[in-house]
Chains A and B, each alone.
Chain A
Amino acid sequence: MIGLARVDERLVHGQVLVGWVPHLGARRVVVADDEAAGSPLARAAMTLALPPGVEAEVDPVKGVDWEALAGSPEAVLVVFRDVAEVERALAAGFTPDRVPVLNLGNVHYALGRRQVTPSVFLSGAEIDGLRRLAAAGFRIEARAVPLDAPIDLAEIERRWNAAG
């Protein structure tokens, strides 16, 4: 099963490996990202920090076998770079019934993005994307680490509008 799907521009890092992997009891991390999959440096780097007993793989978004991940006996943690990639994955079989929560972890500041949590900045297009994903059936939360209180999409939208 997919224990959690996370949007994180930093992909595999401390919050993921020290926070979420033990929290979920996950043994496997799947990075669904075309750019990382195409970079030997990124592929090598993703495996650097893995604690003993945890595996990671880096695949292009369209190259992930979502059905197999959803059917795996152990919890898998899936990481995407941004909201647009999640929408691409949805088209490729990453459906809401296969994942309990879509988590927003780290989306860095960029021109046009507004801050909704200390670590998440979103553009108008990304808010629209999240609305479409919610309409498709995903439960969406913004939460950096398991100890933080989750913030739901309604609150994300409220903060986004207030930040404008």
Chain B
Amino acid sequence: MSIPPVTLRRVFWRCLFLQAAWNRRGMQNLGFAYAIDPALRRLYADPGKRNEALRRHLATFNCHPYTAAAIVGGAIHHEERVAAGEEPTGAPLAYKQVLQGPLAAVGDGFFWAGLRPFFGALAAVGTLVLGWPALVAALLVYNTLHLWLRWSLFRAGYRTGDAVVVRLAALALPAWAARLRDGGAVLCGVAAGVMALGAVGRLGIGAGALALLAATSGIVVLGLRARLLPTVYAALGLGTAAGVVAQVFRGGR
């Protein structure tokens, strides 16, 4: 039997809480079992079989919380076949185990290291230029986009099962992630420029030059593949120094 759309929407809603009961041993296992439970209730009328199905979804699971939606969808796809006697009971678990690592990598690379920093930088530039409504707009667009992608992945997983891999490959998310990272870096540069110009306007040329120096140093340190934390310290230190010197300059005038 196939799952009614209202149940699928309920499962998707529950996918948003995938990490709510994160734990060291099972990681997202409780969240996964909670998410898929409405579908299992539809598929297995016999309480014994439903319990058995729920139990197999308590196995250790960990993925990116966004791309995991595709695996939840695909696990329902396989559970339908298990319930119909077309596949062994281990099929949904095997599917989850194979895809969790690669899809976590796709999600980390695209959402965490690409899309989100890009929109963060966009919000920073927008807010510097246009004020706070730009921040709200950036948050709205980012969240609409990621929720739409999550829903699309969930539906593709449910409809196509194993072939969701082909769908994902066609999206070329790693290539988009690289473009978004470059775009985000450019936006950070623009933000630095806007701040430097603002500093010149308010505090004089010395403060502007220092803000630019701080930004340039940050980029150089990043370019040298420095470890993340020292880079942050260096950027913070230079930024703070720029602020202090700017205050001294202003006080002296």
Interface presence of A163 (CB below 8 A): no
Interface presence of A48 (CB below 8 A): yes
* Shortest Cβ distance from residue A159 to the other chain B in the assembled complex, whole angstroms: 14
Q: Which residue on A lies nearest to B107, using beta carbons?
A: A14
* Shortest Cβ distance from residue B89 to the other chain A in the assembled complex, whole angstroms: 18
* Distance between Cα atoms of A12 and B106 in the complex (Å): 10
Contact (Cβ within 8 A) B105 A18: yes
Binding-face segment, A37-45, A68-76, A83-91:
A37-45
Contact (Cβ within 8 A) B24 A118: yes
* Shortest Cβ distance from residue A17 to the other chain B in the assembled complex, whole angstroms: 5
Interface presence of B131 (CB below 8 A): no
* Shortest Cβ distance from residue A35 to the other chain B in the assembled complex, whole angstroms: 9
Interface presence of A11 (CB below 8 A): yes
Chain A residues with CB under 8 A of B166: 44
Chain B residues with CB under 8 A of A103: none
Q: Which residue on A lies nearest to B113, using beta carbons?
A: A18
CB under 8 Å from chain B, chain A span 135-151 = 146-147
* Distance between Cα atoms of A51 and B108 in the complex (Å): 11
Contact (Cβ within 8 A) B95 A13: no
On chain A, which size bracket covers the interface? 20 to 34
Chain A residues with CB under 8 A of B177: 51
Chain B residues with CB under 8 A of A62: none
* Distance between Cα atoms of A8 and B105 in the complex (Å): 13
* Distance between Cα atoms of A13 and B228 in the complex (Å): 20
**A and B contact pairs by CB, cutoff 8 A, 14 listed:** A10-B62, A11-B102, A13-B100, A14-B108, A17-B108, A17-B109, A41-B99, A42-B98, A45-B98, A45-B165, A48-B106, A48-B174, A51-B178, A52-B178
Q: Main SS of chain A's interface residues? A: loop
Contact of A48 among B26, B95, B169, B229 (CB under 8 A): B169
Interface presence of B227 (CB below 8 A): yes
Interface presence of B101 (CB below 8 A): yes
* Shortest Cβ distance from residue B181 to the other chain A in the assembled complex, whole angstroms: 10
Q: Decide: A49 near B227, CB < 8 A? Known: A10-B100, A41-B99, A44-B166.
A: no
Contact (Cβ within 8 A) B104 A13: yes
Contact (Cβ within 8 A) A18 B108: yes
Interface presence of A50 (CB below 8 A): yes
Chain A residues with CB under 8 A of B107: 14
**Contact flags B164-177 to A (C-beta < 8 A → 1, else 0):** 01101100011101
Contact (Cβ within 8 A) A41 B98: yes
Interface presence of A156 (CB below 8 A): no
* Distance between Cα atoms of A44 and B95 in the complex (Å): 13
Q: Main SS of chain B's interface residues? A: helix
Q: Decide: A47 near B98, CB < 8 A? Known: A14-B105, A18-B105, A115-B24.
A: no
Interface presence of A46 (CB below 8 A): yes
* Shortest Cβ distance from residue A145 to the other chain B in the assembled complex, whole angstroms: 10
Q: Which residue on A lies nearest to B172, using beta carbons?
A: A52
* Shortest Cβ distance from residue A105 to the other chain B in the assembled complex, whole angstroms: 11
Chain A residues with CB under 8 A of B106: 48-49
**With A13-B108, A48-B165 already in contact, 16 other A-B pairs whose C-beta atoms are closer than 8 Å:** A8-B101, A11-B101, A12-B102, A13-B105, A14-B64, A18-B108, A18-B109, A22-B225, A44-B169, A45-B98, A45-B103, A48-B102, A48-B103, A49-B103, A108-B27, A108-B60
Interface presence of B253 (CB below 8 A): no
Interface presence of A30 (CB below 8 A): no
Contact (Cβ within 8 A) B178 A49: no
Interface presence of B55 (CB below 8 A): no
* Distance between Cα atoms of A136 and B177 in the complex (Å): 41
Chain B residues with CB under 8 A of A42: 98
Contact (Cβ within 8 A) B60 A49: no
Q: Which residue on B lies nearest to A14, using beta carbons?
A: B108
Contact (Cβ within 8 A) A10 B175: no
CB under 8 Å from chain B, chain A span 51-107 = 51-52
Q: Decide: A44 near B109, CB < 8 A? Known: A10-B100, A52-B175, A147-B227.
A: no
